[in-house]
Amino acid sequence: MKVASEIESFVVHFGEMGSRWGFNRTVGQMLALIVLSEQPLNAEQIAEMLGVSRGNVSMGLKELQSWQLIRTQPQPGDRKDYFKPAGSIWELALQVLAERRKREVEPTLSLLRSELMNADNVPEQQYAQQKMQEIHDLIELFSRWFDDVNKMNPESLKTLLKLGSGVGKVLGMKDRLIAKS
């Protein structure tokens, strides 16, 4: 089984993007294959399609399961595990964001809180403490916003995102009008 040429470039690109999202190239390619495949895939099929070792695929599948991006689907009469996406494209995107938050944002917030609580009120450190507080407040604001967005259904989220691009245009026009006056 080989990757169809029309999707091969996307699978390769998705692997490169995966490294920016927090997992390695092969894991990104595996996720792309699973998402684009109409039928669930087993590890042997994935290894053959990507031209990678079965062991590499096995480790990648475990990582995708730890991110809660794929799930197994039994096939009648077959003892192999078959894998499919753990939700819609929107649900997968939100799950990646939630995992990134858990792995990157929460530890940063925890460190900032600790530093700010234990800070000595020494004049020489006041500027640095003020900047750490600003960073903390900004990340906390984004975190609360993400919590609200994560509770939305996909249709409401699409509407919000479409509204956001319109708001940006309106604010840009307002800024240009103010600059001209």
Same domain, 115 and 159: yes
Same domain (yes/no): 162, 103: yes
* Residue where a domain terminates, one of 85, 119, 145: 85
Q: What is the CATH number of the domain that holds 49?
A: 1.10.10.10
pLDDT at 73: 93
**Is the domain of 81 the same as that of 111?**
no
pLDDT grade for 171, boundaries at 50, 70 and 90:
low
Residue 68 burial by CB count (10 A; 0-12/13-18/19+): exposed, middle or buried?
middle
- Claim to verify: residue 174 and residue 98 sit in the same structural domain: yes
Q: Are residues 94 and 143 in the same domain?
A: yes
HEC profile for 129-172?
HHHHHHHHHHHHHHHHHHHHHHCCCHHHHHHHHHHHHHHHHHHH
66 and 22 both lie in a single domain = yes
pLDDT digits (tens, 9 = 90+) for 51-64: 999 999 999 999 99
Among residues 85, 111, 130, the one where a domain terminates is: 85
Pick the last residue of a domain from 85, 116, 131: 85
The answer on 154 and 72 residing in a single domain is no
The fraction of the chain above a pLDDT of 90, given in percent, is 56
176 and 93 in a single domain? The answer is yes
- Locate 119 and state its tokens: 């800070």
* Structural domain containing residue 166: 89-180
Q: Are residues 97 and 118 in the same domain?
A: yes
Q: What are phi and psi of 76, to 5 degrees?
A: -55, 130
pTM, entire model: 0.76
Q: Does residue 101 share a domain with residue 169?
A: yes
Same domain assignment for residues 81 and 46: yes
Domain count, the chain: 2
pLDDT of residue 158: 82
- pLDDT of amino acid 115: 92
